[in-house]
Structure 1
Amino acid sequence: MPISSLKRLMLCLAAPFGLVLAAGAQAQQVEGIAAIVNDQPITTYEVRDRMRFILTTSGIQPTEEVLGQVQEQALRSLVEETLQLQTARRYEVPITEEEVDEAIADIAARNGVTVADIQADLESAGASIDTMRQQLRAEIAWSYLVSGRYRSRIRVSDAQIESALDRLAESASQTQYRVAEILVNLPASGDEADAERRITTIYRALEQGAPFPAVAEQLSDAPTAASGGDAGWLSAAQVRPQVAQVLQQMPVGSISNPIRVPGGYMIVALADRRDGQVTEQFTLQQVTLVTSQVTPERRQALERAASRAQGCSNVQAAFESVPQAIVTDIGTVGANALVPQIRSALSGLQNGQASPVLETAAGLQVFILCERRLGGPGLPGSNEIENQIVNQQLSLLARRWLRDLRNDATVEMVGDF
C-alpha cells in the first residue's frame, strides 16, 4: 500500500509542537477524511491523534523528517486496525470494553504507573486515550480471530520439537547475546528506498535518546514489537548471518547501525553477553514414600512398580499399587542441581526407565527419567518449544491473512496520496 504524505496534515503537524496539540474536540470539527476502508472513513483527526500517541509513547522528537515517517506509520496502523475490526464484526467476535480496560491496566502495571498516569500523559501531549483503546481493541480482536481460524490446524510433531531442542542444545555451547530488535520490512511494492527512509528515521531517533523498547513497540514490524523488541538470549546461529557478524563486534549496551537483511532492515541493541555453557539436563518424575510410611511390604511394592515403569505418561498408574506413594513432576533440572546420589542413579538410565529405589533424607525414592539432553542456561523445555513453534506459525499465518485482507479491500486514500 503506497502511502505518501497528506500535505495539509503535515503542515499542521510540522508547526511548533505546542500548537499541534490543540484541543481534540475543536480540531475534530474541521477535519477531513484521510482514507476510506471498505466504505468506512478514517479522519485526518484520527491520523493526527495516532501520531501524537506514537510520538508520546516512543519518545521520538517530532522533527519534520520524523513526522513524515510517523504519519505513514499512523495511517498504516489505522488502516490495518480498521480491517481487523471489520473482520471481527463479520465473524461476530465480541470485544468488550472491560477487556480493553484490563489491557490498559496491564500496560500500566508493567510500566509501574497507574491508568490515570497514562491518560494524563496522553492528554498533556494533546492525544486522546481513545486512539490507544482503538489499537488495543484491534489487537485483542485480531488475536481471537487468528487463534480461532488457525490454532486447531497447527500440528507440532515430536520430531519438530526434538529438532528444535537439538539445535538449541548445540548452540548452548556458543556465546549468547541478549538482543532487542527493530525490523522494517520492505513494502509490498518492493520500494527499498521507502524502507531505508523508515529505518534511517528510527535510527536517528534512537541516536537522539528515544527509548529502544518504546520505539520498537510502535514502529517495528517484527513479532517482538509487542515486547519492546526483546528477543531474549540468542546465539549467533539463531540470528540472521548479517546480524551475527554485527553482534560479535558490538560492545554491551550499544545499538547497531541499520543492517540490511533479506526482506528489510534491522537495528539491534545488545543488552548483555555471556559465554556458552553446556550441562547435562534431566526431565524427571519422582515417586516418594516418606520415612514414616515405609514398611517392608511397601518397599517391595515400590521396587516392583519401579521395574515395570515405562515412560512418563503413566507414572501415576504404574505406582498406584504402592500405598501412600507420592508422585511429583519435577520438570527439567541441570545435573549440577542434583545430589551425587541421584546423579549416579540416573547415569546409566535410558529415557523412560526408572532408577533403583534410593534411600534419601525424604524416605524411599524412585526417579523416572523422561528425557536427557545437553543444554545451557535458560534452555526451554519441550512444552515451551512447542508453544514457540505454534506462535511462530500463528504469526506467519496472521501476516498472510492481513495481507490478503488488504489486497481484497477497497482502500481509497483521500487527498495527496
Structure 2
Amino acid sequence: MKRSLTAFLALVMTTFGGAAHAQQVEGIAALVNDYPITTVDVRNRMRLIIVSSGIQPTEEALLRIQQEALRSLIEETLQIQAALEYEVEVEPAEIDAAIANIAVQNNADPSQIASELAASGVDIATLRRQLEAEIAWQIIVSGVYNNRIRISNQHIEQTLERVAASAAQPQYRIAEIFIEIPLSADDSVAQQRAVAVMTQLSQGAAFQAVAQQFSDAPSAANGGDIGWLLEGQMRPEVAQIARILEPGQLSRPFRVPGGLMIIALIDRRESSATVQYELVQATLPSSRLTDETRSSFASAIDRVRSCDGIDAALEPVEGAFASRLGQISLDALLPEIADRLRALGPGENTGVLDTSAGQQVYFVCDRAIGGPGVPTPDEIERQLRNQQLSMFARRWLRDLQRDATIEIR
C-alpha cells in the first residue's frame, strides 16, 4: 500500500461523501438471501480496492470499481453463509495472520496496514471481512472436496513427462490474473472486467495489488505470482504467450479454459535442469554374433518386463551380458543412443542397436529431473490437487449464486 494513493482517495471520498451528504441517508445496495449489503459496505469496499491496488479513481474507473465491489461482496456473503451452514468459524488470530502476510508482501508491519487504511478512510473491518470470507471458503472447500480428489500416479507421470520434455527449455517466473467466465453466461461481463483491469494496469496500478482484488485464481492471495515454471507445467496457451514476452512485459487478455487470463512475465532464466537416466546396457559382443545368437538375443529382449529381469532373460544367450550404468545424463551418451532414449520412460528400452561393440540394448530403469525450479512428484501432486480444488470451488460458488435469491437495488 502506498501513501501516494491518499490523494486519489480524496477524489473518491469527495465523490461519495458529497452524494451521501446530499441524500442524508444510506441504503441497501443488494440483498443476498435476505442478508443486506449496504451502500456503506460497497463504498468501503471501493475505497479498499482503490487504496490497495493503486487504481486512479476517474469517473469511468469508479463505475467499474463499484461493479467489482458489489460483485465481490455478493460472492463473499454467499461464502460466509456457506461457512455458517457448515459451522465453520474463522478465529480472529487467523485473520491477524493473513493481515501479517499482507504486511510482509508490502514490506510493512500490520500496524502500518491499519494506519494507512485509516488515513485513506478505510475501516480495517472492511479488510477483515474480505479475509474472513477467503479463509472460511478455503476451509469448507478443502473439507468438502479434498477427499474426493484422486491424483493418480499416471497423472503425475504424464505431468513429469511434459516437464521432462521441456527440461532444457527456459524457465519463466509468471504472475497471473484470471477472470472467470461462468458456464451459463456469455463472455461480455468477463471482457468488461478484463478491459477494466488492463486500463488500471496501463495507468500504473501495481500488478500484484490488482491481482489481489480482481483475480479469480487462488494465486490472487500471492498477488498472482505463481513462481518459476517450466513450459511443461504451464497450460499450452500460457506457454505460447510467455515465450514472446520479455521480462517486465504484460500480455493482453487471452482465452484459457474457463475464462480469460492476463499474465506478466516477471523474469526468465535458462534452465539448468537435467534429465538423469538409470540405465542397464545389454550387450551381445561382436565376437559372439551369429544368426542364432542374434535371434536368441532379440527374443531375450522381448521377454524383459523390468530391469530386475534382464540378467535372467540373457542367461540362455551365449556370450550376452548386462552392465548397470547407474545414473547418467543424455549428453554423456552418443547422439544416436541419446535420441532413442529421449522419449522413453521407466520400463522401456531402445530396441536392438548395431554398434561397434556388437548388438546393444539400453533399458530405462528410472528417469528423474533435477535442477533449480524442477518440481518433485509431491509438488506436482499438490499442484494438480490445488487445480482441482480451485475448479470445484468455482463450480460450487456458481451453484450458490444460481440457487440464491439475489436482489440488486
User: Same fold by TM (over 0.5)?
Assistant: yes
User: Does residue 164 of structure 2 align to residue 143 of structure 1?
Assistant: no
User: Does residue 74 of structure 2 align to residue 79 of structure 1?
Assistant: yes
Q: What's the CA shift for 1:241?
A: 4.4
Structure 1 counterpart of 2:175: 180
Of the candidates 62, 68, 71, which is equivalent to residue 57 of structure 2?
62
| Separation in structure 1 between the aligned mates of residue 165 and residue 395 of structure 2, nearest angstrom | 32
| Separation in structure 1 between the aligned mates of residue 17 and residue 408 of structure 2, nearest angstrom | 25
Q: Do the aligned partners of 1:21 and 1:126 also contact (CA within 8 Å) in 2? A: no
Q: What's the CA shift for 1:244?
A: 3.6
| Separation in structure 1 between the aligned mates of residue 120 and residue 366 of structure 2, nearest angstrom | 55
Structure 2 counterpart of 1:383: 378
Letter aligned with residue 194 of structure 1: V
Query: In the TM superposition, what are the counterparts of 1:323-342 in structure 2 within 5 Å?
Result: none
Query: Which segments of 5 or more consecutive residues in structure 1 lack a partner in the other structure?
Result: 1-12, 284-310, 312-333, 337-349, 352-369
User: Percent identity, aligned pairs only?
Assistant: 53
Structure 1 counterpart of 2:109: 114
Letter aligned with residue 82 of structure 1: T
Q: What's the CA shift for 1:15?
A: 9.4
Structure 1 counterpart of 2:191: 196
Q: Do the aligned partners of 1:172 and 1:376 also contact (CA within 8 Å) in 2? A: no
Structure 2 counterpart of 1:100: 95
Change (3 A) 1:225 1:90: same
Q: Do the aligned partners of 1:218 and 1:225 also contact (CA within 8 Å) in 2? A: yes
Q: Do the aligned partners of 2:219 and 2:226 also contact (CA within 8 Å) in 1? A: yes
Q: Do the aligned partners of 1:282 and 1:335 also contact (CA within 8 Å) in 2? A: yes
Change (3 A) 1:29 1:376: farther
Give a deviation string over 1:55-108, Cα, whole Å, max 9, x none.
110111111221122111111111111111111111111222222222212322
Structure 2 counterpart of 1:153: 148
Change (3 A) 1:29 1:133: farther
| Separation in structure 1 between the aligned mates of residue 60 and residue 186 of structure 2, nearest angstrom | 18
SS at match of 1:251: coil
Q: What's the CA shift for 1:183?
A: 2.1
User: Does residue 141 of structure 2 align to residue 171 of structure 1?
Assistant: no
Query: Which segments of 5 or more consecutive residues in structure 2 lack a partner in the other structure?
Result: 1-7, 279-307, 309-326, 330-344, 347-364
| Separation in structure 2 between the aligned mates of residue 165 and residue 175 of structure 1, nearest angstrom | 16
Q: Do the aligned partners of 1:21 and 1:125 also contact (CA within 8 Å) in 2? A: no
Between Structure 1 and Structure 2, how many residues are aligned?
Answer: 323
Change (3 A) 1:403 1:211: same
RMSD: 3.3
Structure 1 counterpart of 2:320: none
Structure 1 counterpart of 2:246: 251
Query: In the TM superposition, what are the counterparts of 1:283-302 in structure 2 within 5 Å?
Result: none
Letter aligned with residue 104 of structure 1: I
Query: In the TM superposition, what are the counterparts of 1:268-307 in structure 2 within 5 Å?
Result: 268-280=263-275
Structure 1 counterpart of 2:297: none
Q: TM-score, normalised by structure 1?
A: 0.69
Structure 2 counterpart of 1:48: 43
Give a deviation string over 1:181-229, Cα, whole Å, max 9, x none.
1122235553433322221221121111111111111111223212111
Change (3 A) 1:396 1:408: same
SS at match of 2:244: coil
Q: Do the aligned partners of 1:184 and 1:199 also contact (CA within 8 Å) in 2? A: yes
Q: Do the aligned partners of 1:169 and 1:376 also contact (CA within 8 Å) in 2? A: no
Higher radius of gyration, 1 or 2: 2
Letter aligned with residue 37 of structure 1: V
Q: What's the CA shift for 1:146?
A: 1.0
Structure 2 counterpart of 1:205: 200
Letter aligned with residue 36 of structure 1: L
Of the candidates 120, 123, 126, which is equivalent to residue 118 of structure 2?
123
Q: What's the CA shift for 1:44?
A: 0.8
Of the candidates 12, 34, 42, which is equivalent to residue 39 of structure 1?
34
Structure 2 counterpart of 1:17: 12
| Separation in structure 2 between the aligned mates of residue 187 and residue 157 of structure 1, nearest angstrom | 28
| Separation in structure 2 between the aligned mates of residue 258 and residue 46 of structure 1, nearest angstrom | 30
| Separation in structure 2 between the aligned mates of residue 151 and residue 127 of structure 1, nearest angstrom | 36
User: Does residue 408 of structure 2 align to residue 413 of structure 1?
Assistant: yes
SS at match of 1:16: helix
| Separation in structure 1 between the aligned mates of residue 236 and residue 87 of structure 2, nearest angstrom | 44
